[in-house]
Amino acid sequence: MASSLLTRSTPVTPLRSSMSSSPGRLIEPAASAFGVPLARGRPQGRLRRGRVLHDPTIVSRALAAFALRGGWSAPAKRRARKAMRKSMDRKEIEALRDQVSCAAVLEQAGFAIDLKESTRRAVKFRRSGEIIIVTHDGRGWFDPLGDAKGDVFGLVEHLDHVGFLEGAGRVAGLVGFAITEPEWQAPRPDRDLDLSLPERWQARRRPWPSSSTWAYLNGERFLPATLLRATIGQDRLREGPQGSMWAAHTDNAGVVTGWEARGPEYRGFASGGTKVLFRLGPDPALRLAVTEAAIDAMSLAAIEGLRDGTVYLSTGGGWSPSTEAALRQMASRADSLLVAATDGNPQGEMFAERLRALADTVGCDWSRLRPPEEDWNETLKIREKEKRERKEGGVPHSRRPRQGKLRPGEPALDPAGRDAGGPGGVMKD
């Protein structure tokens, strides 16, 4: 009732011009404050001041509804949404949070689980180039490609671009929606969790040629032995559980902040750790080749032959404030070249655009290096398989380069496959 009164197109007559506060006066139907006849024109007795539309619930809902129809400016609309939140029963909101998972919203919106890149505590959903990661047992979410995050209500607002009230209605419509549960493997106990992060890293052995981690990296990932020895020599790898690999993330001071964990049946990041950067190569290097995974960084290094003046980096698939700060500091050095060597898919292109924007901000040169396949490890696998097939079949290589010490290689792609630029315009390759 209140919302309909407040949004009438009929001009509102001030109360003082049509009603009096004199005791015992009859209020005539035609003298209604809003130009609407009263239901009954019986004597009203003494008029009580301060009772007209002063119910806080009615007023807040009415004003918010008026604002959300376009009657107020953006700041006023935000205040109106806040009023609507307050007017709703907190128990109702919490009940909806408990009954509707963020996974239900995403599945109904056409997202699908990327099981390969998901864990029990962080389930990755994809829809074309969009990515949403669901956390806290379905009650929370965040966008790894942006700053958006929140609860199930915020997720509906983020995806559908609607206000809180409409979003709450859509959430309520998903009560009872059956989501597709991924088939997780039984969790393995980790005795190392009682140790601190540096202690957990130091407690693990470095990989060696007969270890299961070495077999995984060299046999399944096709990383050459020379590359693995160079990476281990820089103290970047550790033996993880069940034949997995730990690849260290460090800050600009060299302190281990966490590690990417990859294995035949496992993918994740150190519990309690922070993603900064995986680094392979000399710290003073000015060519910064940025990938999305440590295995891709090592694969690109193998393809390029650990190119002189290059440090191969991995963001670990995220873009945290600490990652951006570390990249900004490295790219701010004079004559730096930021190379976006991210995956050749929509997500990789989004990361590449972020790196381009960062290069523009700090004023360094920028280059896009796309892998011929989905990522650099797939590219390396194909190359190594072809080499092994030629060797096993006795087919001579088209060229017979001098063997011996691994020489610094050329860039992974020819000039036609690279975009390049800098603060002064397009940079010639």
User: Residue 107 belongs to what H/E stretch?
Assistant: helix 102-108
Alpha carbons 387 and 370: distance in angstroms, whole number: 22
- Quote the distance between the C-alpha of residue 327 and its chain's center: 17
Average pLDDT, integer, range 30-38: 45
209, part of any domain: yes
Are 267 and 216 in the same domain?
A: yes
**What pLDDT score does 299 carry?**
98
Average pLDDT, integer, range 333-353: 95
- 208: how many CB neighbours lie within 10 A of its CB? 11
Q: Is 157 exposed, middle or buried (0-12, 13-18, 19+ CB in 10 A)?
A: buried
**What pLDDT score does 424 carry?**
43
The domain tally of the chain equals 3
Average pLDDT, integer, range 266-274: 88
**What pLDDT score does 57 carry?**
46
**What pLDDT score does 250 carry?**
95
- CB distance 261 to 301 below 8 Å: no
184, part of any domain: no
**What pLDDT score does 239 carry?**
95
- For residue 389, pLDDT over 90 is answered with no
Q: Which tops the pLDDT comparison, 308 or 36?
A: 308
- Domain stops at, among 18, 46, 74: 74
Q: Which tops the pLDDT comparison, 376 or 182?
A: 376
**pLDDT band for position 38 (cuts 50, 70, 90):** very low
Q: Is 211 exposed, middle or buried (0-12, 13-18, 19+ CB in 10 A)?
A: middle
**What pLDDT score does 118 carry?**
81
Task: Collect all residues with Cβ–Cβ distance below 8 Å to 405 and sequence separation of at least 6.
Answer: none
Residue 290 corresponds to which tokens in the numbers above? Answer: 């940025």
Are 282 and 416 in the same domain?
A: yes
SS3 of residue 238 by DSSP: strand
- Domain stops at, among 74, 100, 120: 74
Residue 274: name the closest of 305, 250, 242 by CA. 250
**What pLDDT score does 32 carry?**
42
208, part of any domain: yes
Are 93 and 68 in the same domain?
A: no
83, part of any domain: no
Average pLDDT, integer, range 121-132: 88
**What pLDDT score does 86 carry?**
56
pTM, entire model: 0.55
- CB distance 367 to 421 below 8 Å: yes
Are 258 and 388 in the same domain?
A: yes
Are 253 and 389 in the same domain?
A: yes
**What pLDDT score does 108 carry?**
86
- For residue 364, pLDDT over 80 is answered with yes
List, for residues 136-172, the tens digit of each pLDDT value. Answer: 888 899 988 878 889 999 999 999 888 888 888 888 8
**What pLDDT score does 139 carry?**
87
349, part of any domain: yes
- For residue 52, pLDDT over 80 is answered with no
Are 46 and 93 in the same domain?
A: no
**What pLDDT score does 242 carry?**
85
Range with the lowest mean pLDDT among 78-82, 339-343, 375-379?
78-82
Please state the φ and ψ torsions of residue 183, each to the nearest 5 degrees: -90, 100
185, part of any domain: no
**What pLDDT score does 30 carry?**
46
State the average pLDDT for the chain.
77
Q: Which tops the pLDDT comparison, 60 or 429?
A: 60
List, for residues 168-204, the tens digit of each pLDDT value. Answer: 888 888 887 766 666 555 545 455 555 778 889 999 9
**What pLDDT score does 371 carry?**
96
429, part of any domain: no
Q: What is the DSSP string of 15-40?
A: HHHH----TT----GGG-TTS---S-
**What pLDDT score does 62 carry?**
45
**Distances 8 to 4, 66, 253, 386 between C-alpha atoms, Å:** 6, 10, 65, 76
CATH number for position 120 = 3.90.580.10
Task: Collect all residues with Cβ–Cβ distance below 8 Å to 401 and sequence separation of at least 6.
Answer: none
**What pLDDT score does 148 carry?**
87
Q: What is the extent of the structural domain holding 278?
A: 196-397+406-421
- For residue 415, pLDDT over 60 is answered with no
Are 283 and 221 in the same domain?
A: yes
Are 128 and 29 in the same domain?
A: no
**What pLDDT score does 145 carry?**
80
Are 257 and 375 in the same domain?
A: yes
**pLDDT band for position 412 (cuts 50, 70, 90):** low
CATH number for position 235 = 3.40.50.140
Are 412 and 307 in the same domain?
A: yes
Q: What is the DSSP string of 282-338?
A: -TT-SEEEEESSHHHHHHHHHHHTS-TTEEEEE-TT---HHHHHHHHHHHTSTT-EE
Are 282 and 351 in the same domain?
A: yes
Average pLDDT, integer, range 45-55: 45
12, part of any domain: yes
Are 134 and 156 in the same domain?
A: yes
Average pLDDT, integer, range 36-54: 47
**pLDDT band for position 58 (cuts 50, 70, 90):** very low
User: Residue 212 belongs to what H/E stretch?
Assistant: helix 212-215
SS3 of residue 258 by DSSP: strand
- Domain stops at, among 139, 172, 205: 172
**What pLDDT score does 25 carry?**
47
